[in-house]
Amino acid sequence: MAGDSQAPATKEDVKGIMEYLVKNEEKIHNLAKEMKESEKRMKRHFDVVAENIKHDLLHGALHDKVEQHEDRIQTLEQHTSLVVA
């Protein structure tokens, strides 16, 4: 039964796991801390993406582009003293 992955854990198995956990407690703690920090970064990124999507749906990305082009046209018209009809 040595290769059986469904075999129940022995007392020796549990002892080995406990020794490993005690020996690597600091590494495990650091890994957990890194995972929490990564989770926070992902949440912030998700929030930014969600806010951008919300803005695009409410105000329209195309509307912003049109406004930018209108501003550029007005600036060019003022600079060249031309008015486009």
- Return the pLDDT at 50: 94
- Return the pLDDT at 55: 82
d(CA 13, CA 69): 69
What tokens does 45 get? 């990124």
> What pTM does this model have?
0.50
- Return the pLDDT at 23: 97
What tokens does 73 get? 């046209």
C-beta of residue 23 within 8 angstroms of C-beta of residue 17 = no
Please compute, for residue 42, the number of CA atoms within 13 A of its CA located in the half-sphere on the CB side: 6
Which residue ranges in the chain fall short of pLDDT 50? Answer: 1
Smallest Cα–Cα separation from 69: which of 56, 81, 84? 84
Give domain limits for the chain: 11-59
3-class SS of residue 74: helix
